[in-house]
């Protein structure tokens, strides 16, 4: 019996993982990785942190946990895998089960036969035909070459201003890296918010934090032109004619699947242009598998195709592929719930499942959301406030969760992601047994607190109102009675200045005469995090007030200007 021939196109996350898994399951398979770039198995999510100087050893992006660089020699000696770098697959001959390769430097062509083929060609940066986009100084942050270029700019210290086009994950991470390198950064985003996986109210808190760190953020405007002088970038012209002076521009407006090779081989592609795969990561050709940023996978919530170019998913998909090309289709990949997180200076921002705007986009009805502002641990352990948003459907199934703030966002998102993947309902999480000790968590975890607020809302014990709705009421000239339930010292330190009346919660029962005489008048209660706002609502309801609401998240969730 001849050894199985496996060819893997692409040597980053999914491809390298598929090859390594296949080797562990079959010592004698003939495995070859073909990689267009000179590097292999790159930790691409670490690129911004190398650019920003969080670490200075370039090889750290290419190393095993033991510190060994994953180069062709490593793959040959440690894995018995042939890795052909700086080599591009130019064609797939499905009939003859061969791929044609071209060495990028010599131009030499060769062919490789396969029994099983893996396509892991990744994604390409979106680069629309904006005038001047080819100028030196305009780059992306998608490859090691981009990373080396940006790191060289950082180390040279000659560029003083940069513009990042796009406020998504890559754009925000690039912004932080450049800003912390001493470069003044402006972020330009065509839509009305950064980090579009968040709803606007939480995204605005992130934007405010970026501004506080010295970043200029311009939303709701696009780029018209890259301005050059003597063949060199000197500025970015916006759609309104404004020119932002800069010596560097980073394009970060998303990526698209690099599926051209698969298209040319007449493999099926999907809605987003990604290669279509089944639960085994198998393409429309049973002998060809695909994974990583070049494929489409199902949403585990809606069942619809999704494009989810995330490094963790690529590795998981590669592992499934590696097992299936050796053992037959014994492993499955169920899809994505769109879990993600990023660091934004001192903030973290993450989400999993559906945002409210995503629920609206797919026409979901009967869902409910709540915003929770509360600490990530007890005050005596250095608590930091988190602001989160929970979404449940009409059957009270957990479908979405977002969290931002200075505290431990990652734990909250991970807990929610498992709740969503486990199809848990609100009743399953309101008494969830999570790890507790003061260094790590309050006695009632932040995520469980969000579930408790949701329970109160669904049982009619609390009527919530979002900060954006309150703002719109005020802008429209409405005059609800705004009740701040904190104490005077807290008020002096920080208050909104939107016409609120300060009545400390402990004095509220004795000062009901200061409230509107009409007990049907709209009263909106809040405090720093609106826990006392909720307690104020309970008191007022008991005294016959019928139109009382709690501003969800309180002052900590307020993204608009305030007096202090």
Distance from CA of residue 422 to its chain's centroid?
21
CB 406 within 8 A of CB 384: yes
Task: Find the mean pLDDT for residues 373-377.
Answer: 96
Estimate to the nearest angstrom the gap between the alpha carbon of 14 and the chain centroid: 19
pLDDT digit string (tens) for 289-300?
999 999 999 999
How far apart, in whole angstroms, are the C-alpha atoms of residue 498 and residue 489? 18
Tokens of 519: 């007990």
> Could you tell me if residue 335 is inside a domain?
no
Mean pLDDT over residues 26-43, rounded?
A: 97
Between CA 122 and CA 29, with CA 267 as vertex, the angle to 5 degrees is 70
| CATH number for position 472 | 3.40.250.10
- Determine the 3-state secondary structure of 539 from DSSP: helix
> Do 233 and 294 fall within a single domain?
no
Cβ–Cβ < 8 Å for 246, 236: yes
Q: Count up the domains in the chain and report the number.
A: 4
477 and 530: one domain? Answer: yes
- Residue 487 domain-assigned (yes or no): yes
At 79 the pLDDT is 97
- 205 with 291, same domain: the answer is no
Q: What percent of the chain has pLDDT over 90?
A: 99
Tokens of 115: 């029994």
Q: What is the dihedral of CA 290, 301, 340, 191, to 10 degrees?
A: 100
Q: How far apart are CA 191 and CA 193, in angstroms?
A: 6
Q: Find the farthest-apart pair of alpha carbons in the chain and give their distance in angstroms, rounded.
A: 92
Q: Tell me, yes or no, whether 261 and 239 share the same domain.
A: no
194 and 245 share a domain?
yes
CATH number of the domain enclosing 197: 3.50.50.60
Residues 417, 352 contacting (CB under 8 angstroms): yes
pTM of the model: 0.95
**Distance separating alpha carbons of residues 74 and 68, to the nearest angstrom:** 8
Decide the pairing of beta strands 288-290 and 123-125.
Answer: unpaired
Q: What is the pLDDT of residue 563?
A: 81
User: Considering the domain boundaries, does residue 562 fall inside one?
Assistant: no
3-state secondary structure 491-514: HHHCCCCCCCEECCHHHCHHHHHH
Strands 255-257 and 123-125: antiparallel
Structure confidence by residue, pLDDT tens digits, 75-124: 999 999 999 999 999 999 999 999 999 999 999 999 999 999 999 999 99
- Distance between CA atoms of residues 367 and 400, nearest Å: 10
Torsion sign (Cα): 61, 64, 69, 70? negative
| Residues 202 and 286 reside in one and the same domain | no
Domain co-membership, 195 together with 246: yes
Domain with 350 in it = 340-458
Domain shared by 304 and 405, yes or no: no
Single residue among 279, 297, 327 that ends a domain in this structure:
327
pLDDT in tens, 214-267: 999 999 999 999 999 999 999 999 999 999 999 999 999 999 999 999 999 999
How far apart (Å, rounded) are the C-alpha atoms in residues 124 and 272? Answer: 13
- Residue 385 lies inside a defined structural domain of this protein: yes
Helix ranges (DSSP H) in 180-332: 200-212, 260-264, 311-327
Alpha-carbon span 529 to 523, nearest angstrom:
17
Nearest to 501 by CA among 521, 525, 519: 525
Specify the pairing of strand 305-306 against strand 138-139.
unpaired
Which of 197, 232, 253 is at the close of a domain? 253
Does residue 194 lie in a domain region? yes
Indicate if 82 and 178 belong to the same structural domain. no
Torsion angle of alpha carbons 74, 78, 81, 82, nearest 10°? 30
Kindly state whether residue 320 falls inside one of the protein's structural domains. yes
- Direct distance between the N- and C-terminal alpha carbons of the chain, in angstroms, rounded to an integer: 77
List, in order, residues 6 or more apart from 83 with CB less than 8 Å away.
11, 32, 33, 35, 40, 71, 72, 75, 76
Give domain status of residue 396, yes or no. yes
The predicted-structure confidence for 273-284, as pLDDT tens digits, reads as follows 999 999 999 999
Question: Is pLDDT at 1 greater than 80 in this prediction?
Answer: no
Same-domain pairing of 112 and 261 = yes
Instruction: Identify the bridge partners of residue 332 per DSSP, sorted by sequence position.
Output: none
Q: Is the pLDDT of residue 67 over 80?
A: yes
Q: Does one domain contain both 448 and 480?
A: no
Same domain? 304 vs 365: no
In a domain, residue 131? The reply is no
Is it the case that residue 564 has pLDDT exceeding 70?
no
Q: Among residues 397, 431, 458, which one ends one of the domains?
A: 458
The pLDDT score that the predictor gives to residue 339 is 98
pLDDT tens string 41-66: 999 999 999 999 999 999 999 999 99
Q: What is the mean pLDDT of the chain?
A: 97
């Amino acid at each position: 019996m001849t050894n199985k021939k496996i060819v893997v196109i692409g040597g980053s996350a999914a491809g390298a993982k598929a090859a390594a898994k296949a080797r562990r399951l079959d010592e004698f398979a003939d495995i070859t990785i073909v990689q267009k770039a000179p590097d292999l198995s790159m930790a691409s999510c670490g690129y911004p942190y190398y650019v920003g100087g969080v670490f200075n050893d370039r090889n750290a992006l290419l190393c095993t946990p033991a510190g060994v660089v994953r180069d062709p020699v490593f793959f040959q000696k440690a894995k018995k895998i042939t890795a052909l770098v700086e080599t591009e697959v130019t064609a797939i001959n499905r009939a003859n089960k061969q791929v044609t390769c071209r060495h990028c430097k010599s131009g030499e062509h060769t062919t490789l036969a396969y029994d099983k083929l893996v396509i892991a060609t990744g994604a390409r940066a979106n680069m629309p035909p904006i005038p001047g986009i080819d100028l030196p100084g305009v780059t992306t942050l998608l490859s090691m070459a981009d990373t080396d270029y940006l790191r060289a700019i950082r180390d040279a210290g000659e560029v003083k201003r940069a513009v990042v086009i796009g406020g998504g994950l890559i754009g925000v991470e690039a912004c932080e890296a450049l800003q912390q390198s001493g470069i003044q950064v402006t972020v330009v985003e065509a839509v009305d918010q950064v980090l579009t996986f968040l709803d606007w109210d939480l995204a605005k808190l992130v934007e405010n934090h970026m501004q506080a760190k010295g970043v200029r953020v311009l939303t709701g405007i696009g780029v018209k032109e890259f301005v050059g002088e003597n063949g060199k970038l000197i500025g970015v012209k916006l759609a309104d004619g404004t020119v932002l002076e800069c010596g560097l521009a980073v394009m970060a407006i998303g990526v698209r699947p690099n599926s051209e090779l698969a298209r040319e081989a007449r493999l099926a592609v999907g809605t987003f242009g990604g290669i279509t795969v089944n639960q085994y990561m198998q393409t429309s050709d049973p002998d060809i598998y695909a994974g990583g940023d070049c494929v489409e996978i199902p949403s585990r919530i809606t069942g619809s195709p999704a494009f989810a170019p995330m490094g963790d998913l690529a590795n998981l998909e590669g592992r499934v592929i590696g097992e299936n090309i050796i053992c037959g289709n014994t492993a499955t990949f169920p899809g994505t719930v769109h879990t993600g997180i990023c660091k934004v200076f001192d903030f973290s921002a993450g989400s999993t499942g559906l945002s409210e705007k995503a629920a609206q986009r797919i026409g979901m009805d009967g869902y409910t959301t709540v915003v929770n502002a509360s600490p990530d641990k007890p005050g005596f352990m250095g608590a930091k406030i988190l602001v989160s948003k929970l979404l449940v459907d009409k059957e009270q199934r957990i479908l979405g969760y977002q969290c931002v703030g200075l505290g431990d966002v990652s734990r909250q998102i991970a807990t929610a992601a498992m709740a969503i993947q486990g199809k848990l309902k609100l009743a399953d999480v309101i008494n969830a047994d999570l790890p507790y000790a003061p260094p790590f968590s309050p006695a009632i975890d932040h995520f469980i607190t969000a579930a408790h607020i949701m329970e109160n809302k669904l049982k009619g014990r609390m009527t919530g109102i979002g900060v954006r709705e309150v703002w719109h009421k005020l802008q429209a000239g409405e005059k609800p009675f705004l009740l701040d339930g904190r104490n005077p010292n807290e008020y002096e330190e920080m208050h909104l200045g939107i016409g609120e009346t300060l009545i400390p919660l402990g004095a509220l029962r004795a000062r009901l005469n200061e409230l509107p005489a009409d007990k049907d008048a709209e009263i909106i209660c809040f405090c720093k995090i609106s826990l006392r706002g909720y307690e104020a609502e309970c008191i007022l309801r008991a005294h016959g007030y019928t139109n009382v609401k709690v501003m969800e998240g309180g002052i900590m969730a307020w993204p608009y200007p305030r007096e202090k």
